[in-house]
Homo-oligomer: A and B are copies of this chain.
């Protein structure tokens, strides 16, 4: 497996792959790889493409008071995981490579911004988050020139925002979505789970319990979104270290809240557990 550090080398490697007739699949990650990422990589491999995993903790998608510094990093373990999964190339650029003009507001004068699906939920709580995500994904697409890119459904709003960006800017990239991978107790795999301490890990299952309660109520015939949302809120409230940010049932495409729940709607949830903010979702 090649580990590639520079944009020039990655663009050249990708161009060479494509000249040889191979399709290229990109799995964009922020590293600290877990079984959720492995599922993305394996999905990419089933597409018969050369698989490029990018590992870059992108500063522009973190707000000034968020966990950019604390975000888990372990390049050695990540590199081994990619080797085990027969990844063709690992693209791991430095900050200086991705933002040569340094940090700060003028680091990247050019932004890519999706302005509709980004508005609510994560975008409301993290005002610059999706602008940072869209910009770095656009850059990664321009660097890796993938034919397809694989994203996890765990970050459902991100998946929809990126899909919309690709459609609006007509990137010749197919977006492939992969279902969320969970721990045996239901907690969605996330690099941020590493940051849970003591009993927070057990209490973090409150997100999945809340989503499961909503799903069960819906399957029993409850169609009132407010009742599902109230049930999610009560469930999260059972964990003393948990503080609910939002729990809402939305349309799966527009991400607009619904009043009457229909199959295919999504229950979205965000919860602070101690100092860690976790998100999850479930298709009803």
A: residues with CB less than 8 A from B are 7, 11, 15, 18-19, 21, 106, 108-117, 134-135, 138-139, 142-143, 145, 164-165, 168-172
Q: Which residue of B lies closest to A167 (CB)?
A: B110
Q: Which of B15, B135, B170 contacts A139 (CB 8 A)?
A: B170
A112 partner residues in chain B, CB cutoff 8 A: 110-113, 138, 169
- Between A and B, 9 residue pairs with Cβ closer than 8 Å are A11-B170, A110-B112, A110-B164, A112-B112, A112-B113, A112-B138, A139-B169, A142-B169, A145-B172
Query: How far does the alpha carbon of A110 sit from the alpha carbon of B143 in the complex, in Å?
Result: 20
Integer count of this chain's copies in the complex: 2
**Closest Cβ–Cβ distance, residue A122 to chain B (whole Å):** 16
- Bound state CA distance, A15 and B23, in angstroms? 12
Closest to A118 in B: B109
Q: In the complex, A143 Cα to B168 Cα: how many Å? A: 12
Task: Across the interface, name the chain B residue whose C-beta is closest to A107.
Answer: B168
Contacts of A18 in B (CB 8 A): 18-19
CB pair A134–B110 under 8 Å, yes or no, is yes
The minimal Cβ–Cβ distance linking A40 to chain B, given in whole angstroms, is: 23
Are A110 and B169 in contact, with the CB atoms below 8 A? Answer: yes
Name which residue of chain B comes closest to A116, CB basis: B109
Cα-based distance from A7 to B18 in the complex (angstroms): 20
Q: Which of B109, B110, B114 contacts A110 (CB 8 A)?
A: B114
A168 to B111, CA, bound (A): 9
Tell me the complex Cα distance, A175–B115, Å: 28
The residues of B that contact A170 with a CB separation of less than 8 Å are 7, 11, 139, 142-143
Q: Of A21, A116, A164, A169, which is in contact with the most chain B CB atoms at under 10 Å from its CB?
A: A169
Q: Who on chain B is nearest to A119 by CB? A: B109
A236 → B minimal CB distance (Å): 31
Q: Which residues of B contact A165 (CB under 8 A)?
A: 110
Kindly list chain B residues whose C-beta atoms are within 8 Å of the C-beta of A114.
109-110
A111 partner, pick from B7, B11, B113, B139, beta carbons under 8 A: B113
CA distance A21 to B113 in the complex (A): 34
Q: How far is the CB of A91 from chain B (nearest CB, A)?
A: 12
B110 contacts A106, CB within 8 Å?
Answer: no
